[in-house]
Amino acid sequence: MSQSDKVSNQIVQATKITESHRGPLPLPSHLKQYGEIDPSFPERIMKMAEANNNAAIEDSHKALDASVREVKRGQILSFVIAMTGLLVGSALVIFCKSSAGVATMLTGVSPILVSAIESIMKKK
């Protein structure tokens, strides 16, 4: 058997290793390697991850607070619109414009009724 036959009959095997990671902290083995580069790196990386986590928590609290303020503002404005409609409608009824007064009262209260009905339907 010649040398060229031996080379053509050889099987070449290659192994490819792929590593994937998600998250604020590197794998422990990588963290150890960072420590070999500079002993302060692991501690600095941990502090960075903690700061990132604290910022995410703070952002979530701010978003929740903004949502609560928005809901409260909507409730207050709905109340103002309903009361205005009821007051104007009552005034119209008092001044002998009963059909216009009733229509104004219903128009003022209808957003609250629609909201209540939607809320009940969502719960089912």
Both tokens assigned to 114? 């629609």
Q: In this predicted model, what pLDDT tens digit does every residue of 95-115 receive, in sequence order?
A: 888 888 888 888 888 888 888
Q: Where are the domains of the chain?
A: 25-123
Are the C-beta atoms of residues 25 and 31 closer than 8 Å to each other? Answer: yes
Dist CA 30 CA 17 (whole Å):
16
The neighbour count for residue 42, using CB atoms within 10 Å, is 19
Q: In this predicted model, what pLDDT tens digit does every residue of 33-44 receive, in sequence order?
A: 999 999 999 999
- Is 0.85 surpassed by the pTM of this model? no
Region of 85 please: left (phi>0), alpha (psi -120 to 50) or beta: alpha
